[in-house]
C-alpha cells in the first residue's frame, strides 16, 4: 500500500491534525440525532396486539418522530462534505462517511415505504450479496448455519437483571470501569450496545453461555471499539464508525463469541434464519408468512421478535425488509479470514489497528498507516481473545491446518468404513493423509501459485 500523503508537509503536522480533527468532530456532532434502532424499533404494545389477534393480523407499528429534519440534516451533511477538498485516503473516507449518513437519514425518513428497503440495501447490503474477496454466496452460508444441530444444554436460568450484573463483572475490568449495563423495556433484541452502555431487554431470559457471549460481543467488542475510537486524538469519527463498518463490526462480534468459546450452533442457527427471513420478505413474504416460518423453528415470542427485526422500518405486507441482519454471515467470514491471514503473515500490528475503532476489515491497513503517520493511535482497550495471543494463533493454526482437508472426501472415507467396504479408498497420489485434496496440499517449489 502506498504511503499516505496529504500535502508536501509531513503528514502529522499540527495544522493537518487540527484540520482533520475539526472535520471529524463536526461529522460526529452532525450524526448524533440520527438514531437507527430508536427510530424503527416497535413498542411492546405491537406484539401484545399481535398475540391478542391470535397471530392472524398484520402488526401495525407506529414510529416516533425523527430527531432531525431530513432536509436540514441533508443540507448540513452536504455542506460539511463540501469543506473536505483534499484528494487523499483520509479525506475521501470522511466524504464517504458524509454520504453514508445522508443515506441513513433518507432511509429513516422513508420508514413504512418501499424506498426504505432501497436505502437499507445501499447501507447494509442484501441477503444475496456475494463476498468481495472470495467466490461465496452469503445466503448459502446462512442456509448452512440454519441447518446445523440444535443446542441441547441452553437452559435459560438467568433474568435480565442477573445477566446485567454478570455482563458488568466480565466487561468492567477490561474497559477501565467505563461501561454501564442497564435493563430496559423498549428493545427488539435481547441486548444492544451504545458507546459506553449495554442494554438488556426486560423480561428476557439467558443461559450462562449466552451471558458470557453477550459480554464479549456487546461489551468487549462494540463498546470496546467505540471507546478506542473516541480516544483517537484526530479521527474521533472512528468512535461512531468509518464507512461500511457495520458488516465487520457485527461479524467480529460473533467471531469474539467463537474465539472465547461462548457460542453454540443455536446461535449460528438463529443468525442464519434471520438472513433467510430477510430474503423471504424481500421476495414478497409478509409478516405473517415469515412469522409462521420461524414459528416452526422457535417459540412464539422468539419468532415474533425475530420477525420484527426483519420488518421494522419496512413494509409488514412484504417486499421491503430491514437488511442489517443479512450482514452477519459476510462479516463473520471476512473478519475471521482477515484475522487468520494477518496472523499467517505474522502481522499482529494489523490486527491491533483493527481494534482502534469501528471500521471495516478493508480499512485496517489504512488505519495502521495513520498510526505510523501520527494521525491515529493504537487501541487502549483490548478484547480478551487478543490479549491471549497464543490462543488466537493456535486457533488460526487449527483453521489453516484443517483447510488442507476436504470434508466431503473425509466423510466419504468414513462412510465406506461404516458400510464395511473391503475396497480400500483411493487417495490422491500426492496425499499425505486420508481426505487431503490435491489442490489443498502445501505449495512446493514446483507449484505455480498458492491455492489456499
CA distance linking residue 404 with residue 416, whole number of Å: 21
Q: Reduced to 3 states, what is the DSSP secondary structure of residue 198?
A: strand
Contacts of 277 (CB under 8 A, 6+ apart): 290, 293, 294, 306, 307, 310
Predicted TM-score (pTM) above 0.85? yes
Q: In whole angstroms, what separates CA 271 from the centre of its chain? A: 11
Q: What is the pLDDT of residue 319?
A: 97
* pLDDT surpassing 70 at residue 424: no
* pLDDT surpassing 70 at residue 451: no
Q: Which residue has the higher pLDDT, 159 or 425?
A: 159
- In tens, the pLDDT along 167-218 reads 999 999 999 999 999 999 877 788 999 889 999 999 999 999 999 999 999 9
Q: What is the pLDDT of residue 421?
A: 60
* pLDDT surpassing 50 at residue 449: no
Across 363-387, average pLDDT: 96
Strand partners for 197? 180
Select from 237, 227, 247 the least CA-distant residue to 96: 237
Q: What is the pLDDT of residue 422?
A: 58
How high does pLDDT run on average in the chain?
A: 90
Answer whether 350's CB lies under 8 Å from 368's CB: yes
Q: What is the pLDDT of residue 429?
A: 54
| Environment class of 202 (CB within 10 Å of its CB; exposed 0-12, middle 13-18, buried 19+) | middle
Q: Which residue has the higher pLDDT, 8 or 262?
A: 262
* pLDDT surpassing 60 at residue 256: yes
Q: In whole angstroms, what separates CA 258 from the centre of its chain? A: 13
CA distance linking residue 249 with residue 447, whole number of Å: 37
Strand partners for 184? 201
Q: Reduced to 3 states, what is the DSSP secondary structure of residue 324?
A: helix
Q: What is the pLDDT of residue 136?
A: 83
* pLDDT surpassing 70 at residue 10: no
Q: Which residue has the higher pLDDT, 11 or 186?
A: 186
Q: What is the pLDDT of residue 133?
A: 79
Q: Count other C-beta atoms under 10 Å from residue 185's C-beta.
A: 9
Q: Reduced to 3 states, what is the DSSP secondary structure of residue 200?
A: strand
- In tens, the pLDDT along 72-108 reads 999 999 999 999 989 899 999 999 999 999 999 999 9
* pLDDT surpassing 80 at residue 410: yes
Answer whether 381's CB lies under 8 Å from 175's CB: yes
Instruction: Provide the pLDDT confidence category of residue 426 given band limits of 50, 70 and 90.
Output: low
Phi, psi for residue 206 in degrees, rounded to 5: -135, 150
| Environment class of 229 (CB within 10 Å of its CB; exposed 0-12, middle 13-18, buried 19+) | buried
Q: Which residue has the cell 464479549?
A: 216
Across 346-356, average pLDDT: 97
CA distance linking residue 426 with residue 315, whole number of Å: 55
Least confident span in 12-16, 58-62, 150-154, 218-222: 12-16
How would DSSP label each residue in 386-414?
Answer: HHSHHHHHHHHHHHHHHTTB-HHHHHHHH
DSSP state of 184: E
Q: In what order do the strands lie in the sheet with 180-184?
A: 180-184, 197-201, 191-193
* pLDDT surpassing 70 at residue 443: no
Q: What is the pLDDT of residue 135?
A: 81
* pLDDT surpassing 60 at residue 439: no
Four-residue CA torsion sign, 36, 75, 117, 93: negative
Segments in 239-388 forming alpha helices (H): 246-259, 265-282, 287-295, 300-311, 327-344, 348-354, 364-372, 384-387
Q: What is the pLDDT of residue 186?
A: 76
CA distance linking residue 148 with residue 267, whole number of Å: 10
Answer whether 121's CB lies under 8 Å from 103's CB: no
Amino acid at each position: 500500500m502506498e504511503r499516505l500523503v496529504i500535502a508536501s508537509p509531513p503528514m502529522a503536522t499540527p495544522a493537518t491534525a487540527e484540520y482533520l480533527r475539526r472535520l471529524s468532530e463536526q461529522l460526529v456532532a452532525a450524526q448524533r440525532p440520527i438514531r437507527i434502532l430508536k427510530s424503527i424499533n416497535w413498542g411492546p404494545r405491537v406484539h401484545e396486539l399481535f398475540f391478542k389477534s391470535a397471530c392472524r393480523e398484520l402488526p401495525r407499528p407506529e414510529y416516533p418522530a425523527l430527531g432531525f429534519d431530513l432536509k436540514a440534516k441533508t443540507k448540513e451533511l452536504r455542506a460539511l462534505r463540501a469543506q473536505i477538498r483534499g484528494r487523499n485516503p483520509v479525506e475521501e473516507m470522511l466524504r464517504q462517511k458524509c454520504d453514508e449518513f445522508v443515506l441513513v437519514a433518507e432511509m429513516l425518513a422513508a420508514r413504512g415505504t418501499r424506498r426504505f428497503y432501497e436505502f437499507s440495501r445501499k447501507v447494509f447490503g442484501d441477503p444475496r450479496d456475494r463476498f468481495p474477496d472470495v467466490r461465496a454466496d452469503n445466503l448459502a452460508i446462512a442456509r448452512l448455519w440454519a441447518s446445523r444441530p440444535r443446542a441441547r444444554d441452553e437452559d435459560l436460568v438467568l433474568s435480565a437483571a442477573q445477566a446485567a450484573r454478570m455482563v458488568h463483572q466480565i466487561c468492567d475490568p477490561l474497559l477501565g470501569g467505563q461501561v454501564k449495563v442497564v435493563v430496559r423495556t423498549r428493545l427488539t433484541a435481547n441486548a444492544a450496545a451504545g458507546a459506553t452502555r449495554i442494554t438488556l431487554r426486560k423480561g428476557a431470559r439467558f443461559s450462562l453461555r449466552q451471558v458470557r457471549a453477550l459480554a464479549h460481543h456487546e461489551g468487549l467488542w462494540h463498546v470496546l471499539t467505540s471507546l478506542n475510537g473516541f480516544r483517537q486524538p484526530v479521527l474521533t469519527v472512528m468512535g461512531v464508525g468509518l464507512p461500511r463498518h457495520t458488516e465487520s463490526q457485527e461479524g467480529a462480534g460473533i467471531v469474539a463469541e467463537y474465539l472465547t468459546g461462548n457460542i453454540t450452533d443455536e446461535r449460528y442457527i438463529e443468525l442464519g434464519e434471520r438472513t433467510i427471513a430477510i430474503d423471504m420478505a424481500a421476495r414478497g413474504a409478509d409478516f405473517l408468512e415469515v412469522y409462521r416460518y420461524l414459528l416452526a423453528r422457535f417459540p412464539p415470542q422468539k419468532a415474533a421478535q425475530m420477525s420484527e427485526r426483519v420488518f421494522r422500518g419496512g413494509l409488514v405486507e412484504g417486499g421491503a425488509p430491514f437488511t442489517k441482519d443479512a450482514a452477519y454471515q459476510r462479516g463473520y467470514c471476512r473478519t475471521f479470514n482477515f484475522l487468520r491471514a494477518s496472523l499467517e503473515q505474522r502481522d499482529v500490528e494489523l490486527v491491533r489497528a483493527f481494534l482502534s475503532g469501528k471500521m471495516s476489515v478493508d480499512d485496517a491497513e489504512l488505519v495502521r498507516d495513520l498510526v505510523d503517520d501520527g494521525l491515529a493511535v493504537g487501541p487502549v482497550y483490548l478484547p480478551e481473545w487478543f490479549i491471549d495471543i497464543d490462543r488466537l494463533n493456535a486457533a488460526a493454526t487449527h483453521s489453516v491446518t484443517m483447510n488442507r482437508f476436504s470434508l466431503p472426501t473425509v466423510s466419504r472415507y468414513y462412510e465406506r468404513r461404516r458400510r464395511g467396504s473391503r475396497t480400500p479408498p483411493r487417495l490422491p497420489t500426492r496425499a499425505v493423509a486420508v481426505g487431503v485434496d490435491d489442490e489443498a496440499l502445501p505449495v512446493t517449489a514446483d507449484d505455480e501459485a498458492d491455492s489456499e
